[in-house]
Amino acid sequence: MTETKIALSIEEAAGYTGIGRNTLRKLVEWGKLPVLKVGRKVLIKSDILEKFMEVNEGKDLRDKNDVKTA
């Protein structure tokens, strides 16, 4: 039975989306990608991640001013 996670770590999100870990960390730092912090661990809800990708399709995720918040 395959278990679907509702939240992913930065590393898992990078593997799931193909977006680099450093880029994801920047997006979190800029406040563009909402996260849940548990101690030092950062979790991103998978549905928010998918919505973020839809909203920013065709955008340069390295450009803070080009990225829309999910």
CA within 13 Å, CB half, 53:
13
| 3-state class (DSSP) for residue 16 | helix
Residues found in the chain: 70
Enumerate the domain spans of the chain.
Answer: 7-55
Question: Structure pTM?
Answer: 0.88
pLDDT at residue 4, rounded to an integer = 81
What's the fold here for domain 7-55?
A: Molybdopterin biosynthesis moea protein, domain 2 (3.90.105)
- Does residue 52 contact residue 67 with C-beta atoms inside 8 Å? no
Confidence of residue 55 (pLDDT cuts 50, 70, 90): very high
pLDDT at residue 2, rounded to an integer = 60
State the Cα–Cα distance between residues 70 and 54, nearest whole angstrom: 9
According to DSSP, the residues that pair with 44 across neighbouring strands are 8
- Residue 1: pLDDT over 70: no
Per-residue pLDDT of 10-45, as tens digits, reads 999 999 999 999 999 999 999 999 999 999 999 999
